[in-house]
Structure 1
Amino acid sequence: MTETNGTVHSGVQPGVHPGIQPRPVVGRLPKYVAGKPPEAVSGLESFKLSSNENPLGPVPAVLEVLRGTLDVHRYPDTSCTLLRNALSNFLEVPADDVVTGAGSLGALNQILAAFAGQNSDGSQDEVVYAWRSFEAYPICVGLAGAKSVQVPVRADGSHDLDAMAAAVTKQTKVVLLCTPNNPTGPVLGSQESESFIQSIPSDVVIVIDEAYQEFVRAEDALNGVDLYRKYPNVLVLRTFSKAHGLAGLRVGYSISQPSITGFLRSVATPFAVSGVAEQAAVASLENYDQVVERVQSLVDERTRVVAGLTDLGWDIPDAQGNFVWLNLGTNSQEFAGLAQSHALSLRAFGDEGVRVTIGEAEANTRFLEICTSYTKEPRRS
């Protein structure tokens, strides 16, 4: 410490304040890595296949809503009454069982804030989930003050429900089930999921994250809404970001029985869903037949991509979302770099694998062409 003209200096560089520190958990959190945009390559149109976005965008009625929005100077209805009523009719559930959030991620944060964190004695609640799964899970759990319990997925990228059930302890407050699993792709079956739910204590909240539900074509796939109706501790997450093409508007929601919804509303961020986002979501539901057509076109492209990879002898997990998973291991960064040199951005996860969003037909064709020339094909571990 030195003193100059009556001012005490600590020797710290200007602008650095050693006394201002975040909670210790912040330094331990993994960093969320958003999908990068593609690099420009001369002579090639660039395509972004790194963020599981819907390349077709929203239906025309949504664009009309966006063009006609003039009241952005007003606060939205914090209860999202119009949207909850629309979802009530669409899903045949009580409107009071729907709680909106800023995307399904915002809705998830509300769940964790209500049910999992650090207790007054310093102990941490536990949140059990498969891994690898949605990369925001450990961030959200950590910020809530709870402890992540990660259960490895099987070699085929699916949840190991027996291992997850075994990981549940008296400290477990929430279990997260991601179906289809992002980024690996497989879904959970209806019967296996119900058996799992029945094996878990009824005071543990089971969250079924169905962000990609509209893309599922597996006949035995679970339907979270059916299970929420049967089990009071089951909560469903869904979003308008993927199938509806509203990722930039941030509209998601949870569905749960009244024993849960009251707590969620107590911790919900006020005005999390903007008025224009609510109107856009309602317009998309009102034109759901068009949404279905767009989703089916992407599913058709997914089928083409999977068939092309299979013809090459590439071993990939069952793809039920709007993406495919390449288990490239230590070759992941190399392959992503190769794609980037061809004006395609993919999402590489360290040395684990690469997730490729189903995009425009031209982008998917170029991706398959790159795979044709790549000799280090993925295999199941």
Structure 2
Amino acid sequence: MSATQLPKAQKAAIVQKDLTIAVETISVALPGAGQVLVKINVAAQNPVDWKSIEWQEINPGMGTGCDFAGIVAAIGDGVTNVAVGERVAGWVVASAGKTTAFREYTLVDARPLYKIPDNVTDEEASTIPLAIATAAIGLRRLTNYPQSAPYNRYVLVWGGSSSVGLFAIQLAHLTSFKVITTASPKNHDLVRKYGADVAIDYHAPDSIEQVIKATGKQGGVDYVFDTISEGSSVELSVKALRPSGPRKICVILPLNTEELDPSVEYAAVTCASILGMDLTLFGHHFPRDERNYQFGIEFTEQVAGWLRDGRLKGNPYTVLPGGLSGIQDGLAFMKSGKVSGTKIVYRIADTP
């Protein structure tokens, strides 16, 4: 598609003064050097989309939405890794204020982008980028990922049926970890299908005892990946760490570690490092990490191969009606805690 064929305006979901979402018309920006303009077919919803608004990381007049899947509409000078017309998926940091996914067109750096294999739908592809980046960077903070785990090493994924949890399970399984996870009983079959060796009800009063028992003589897990990081999940999950092990836990939200077990190493993950960004988020500064950026470029290519040969799959998803006009209801639904074992996605063409 040439620049003359691109629309000059597009619809986008914009935060209003009362912190609700409304569809507005904004301009379409053309790609500069090293950039790609993507026509979004499907956008996926994440908890950060509503939390960033509530926590005032995203202010009125800004957009929201991180995950997208679509077609390359235009490329800037120097772009060689993708071509116009190719199907791609990716994610953006909406709170940075440059672009978002809840719109018809998004302007992103050419790397890293995921090329979508023919056997994967746009809906499935849209569930992948942000969550799998979080899972991958989290495992890098905990272990020597992507190197294979030593024999008989256990990782506990707390919140295995969450979007990040399902990818953490798959990536840990692919690197030979024994994976124990917690989830509601209704999602036990789901997490096992995605590679968990053991599924435990996190509501059970003896959930930690069950985790430790599942590790046999080892007496606990080597690592914890807490994909919830709210309520008592951190304080509870670290009790499953074996006394003589690495005693490391990865969390997806910043913590006040002064109130936590000092014998445990706590690592907060921000997947923005995969995008090569220097970012301040939720009051914490995360500097650019060139090693994670280069890892991200290689990782996106690896993910495309895994999707193609069936070793990796996206989240189960639920399409909400109305496209961009349905986002306000979708965010409220997620905030109420009613989303479980599925990821909400929107088909942008459904926007009235």
TM-score w.r.t. the length of structure 1 is 0.35
Query: Whose strand fraction is larger, Structure 1's or Structure 2's?
Result: 2
TM-score w.r.t. the length of structure 2 is 0.37
Return the structure number with greater relative CO, CA threshold 8 A, min gap 6.
1
Query: Whose helix fraction is larger, Structure 1's or Structure 2's?
Result: 1
